[in-house]
């Protein structure tokens, strides 16, 4: 699956809806056993959640948007298919979450790219299931530090802490993803799927149990004046940085 919501593959409500439909089609296709998730946007895997979906909108809109974000996570994290992220660009916040949902992460060795959950840098807080996903990937201590400081890691740093499994020269990323896919597909599907579910179910169940309250938390948090102001300032900073 090549994501292409230019310029930066931000996860808008429309994009998430399309993503979910595409994923479901593949999930229901008996001939499809694995998916390589990558980007068609130059230099960006995904810029994460579309900030415009979290700014200046109604409470109903925020609730609908958040439900779609939850759904993306639930479907991707629990996919029966082998999922490999070929991270061919920067991958902050929601982009990092998508990559962490996959079974294996390969990142291009480009020093300009970065990956991490940088929410605190925007003045917002990653919800518990973002945190859980990161804990499951890199452990408790590295997650605590990453989340509090909103760290974005270079490819070698991300590899060192286990946030990505492998680095490759940019031009080799798709062929390497295909080679890794063959290794994973050599394992009988049912055994791999049951094992994946055993590893991930407790994390998934936690969100399923608290899904409604998580939506309410998001809406009451994001509608706060101080949070709206933080997001506005962050967007202005992005524009100024570009000059
Ligand atoms: N959402 C919406 N628009 C975005 C986003 C985004 N996430 N990222 C970039 N854009 C826009 C820019 O504003 C710019 O718009 P315009 O052309 O109108 O000025 C355009 O995309 C291109 O951006 P840049 O010029 O910055 O492009 P670069 O190639 O220089 O940089 C980056 C690309 C690295 C992706 C950079 O844009 C960036 O760092 N973006 C911000 C990424 C980010 O911090 N995302 C976090 C989103 S929050 C999230 O995913 C999780 C939230 C969890 C919820 C918390 C509960 C409250």
Residue 30 CA to residue 11 CA, distance in Å, equals 28
Burial 208-221 (b: 16+ CB within 10 A, else e): eeebeebbeebbee
**Protein residue whose Cα sits closest to atom 18 of ligand 1:** 239
For the chain, what is the HEC assignment?
Answer: CEECCCCCCCECHHHHHHHHHHHHHHHHCCCCCEEEEEECCCCECCCCECHHHHCCCCHHHHHHHHHHHHHHHHHHHCCCCEEEEEECCEEECHHHHHHHHCCEEEEECCCCCCEECCHHHHCCCCCHHHHHHHHHHHCHHHHHHHHHHCCCECHHHHHHCCCCCEEECHHHHHHHHHHHHHHHHCCCHHHHHHHHHHHHHHHHHHHHHCHHHHHHHHHHHHCCHHHHHHHHHHHHHHHHHHC
Return the structure tokens found at 113: 């790219």
Q: Name the residue at shortest CA distance from atom 36 of ligand 1.
A: 47
* Res 238: pLDDT: 92
**118 in active site:** yes
Query: What's the structural domain count of the chain?
Result: 1
CATH code of 21's domain? 3.90.226.10
8 C-alpha to center of ligand 1: Å?
7
Is residue 105 within 8 Å of 85, Cβ to Cβ? yes
Per-10-residue mean pLDDT, the chain, length 243: 97 98 97 98 98 96 98 98 98 98 99 97 95 98 98 98 98 98 98 98 98 98 96 93 77
Give catalytic status of residue 152 as yes or no.
no
Ligand 1 pocket: which of 6, 8, 132 to mutate (most atoms within 8 A of CB): 8
What's the alpha-carbon Rg for the chain, to the nearest Å?
17
**Which residue owns the Cα nearest ligand 1 atom 23?**
8
The complex's ipTM? 0.98
- Which range marks the domain in which residue 33 is found? 2-242
Cβ of 128 closer than 6 Å to ligand 1, yes or no, is no
Respond yes or no: is residue 119 known to be catalytic: yes
Which listed residue (94, 95, 116, 150) is catalytic? 94
The pLDDT value given to residue 243: 67
Q: Determine the pLDDT at residue 241.
A: 87
Best CA proximity match to 155, nearest among 217, 209, 106: 106
């Amino acid at each position: 699956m090549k994501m292409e919501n230019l310029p930066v593959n931000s996860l808008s409500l429309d994009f998430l809806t399309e993503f979910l439909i595409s994923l479901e089609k593949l999930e229901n296709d008996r001939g499809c056993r694995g998916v390589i998730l990558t980007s068609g946007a130059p230099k960006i895997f995904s810029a994460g959640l579309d900030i415009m979906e979290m700014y200046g909108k109604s409470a109903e809109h925020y609730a609908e948007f958040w439900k779609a974000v939850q759904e993306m996570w639930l479907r991707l994290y629990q996919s029966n298919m082998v999922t490999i992220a070929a991270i061919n660009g920067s991958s902050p916040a929601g982009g990092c979450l998508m990559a962490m949902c996959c079974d294996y992460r390969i990142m291009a060795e480009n020093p300009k790219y970065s990956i991490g959950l940088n929410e605190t840098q925007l003045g917002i807080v990653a919800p518990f299931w973002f945190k859980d996903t990161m804990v499951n990937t890199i452990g408790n201590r590295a997650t605590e530090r990453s989340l509090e400081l909103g760290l974005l890691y270079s490819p070698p740093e991300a590899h060192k802490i286990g946030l990505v499994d492998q680095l490759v020269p940019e031009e080799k990323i798709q062929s390497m993803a295909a080679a890794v896919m063959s290794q994973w597909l050599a394992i009988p599907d049912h055994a791999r799927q049951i094992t994946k579910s055993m590893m991930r179910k407790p994390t998934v169940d936690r969100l399923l149990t608290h899904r409604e309250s998580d939506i309410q938390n998001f809406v009451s948090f994001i509608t706060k004046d101080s949070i709206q102001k933080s997001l506005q300032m962050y967007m202005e900073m992005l524009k100024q940085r570009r000059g």
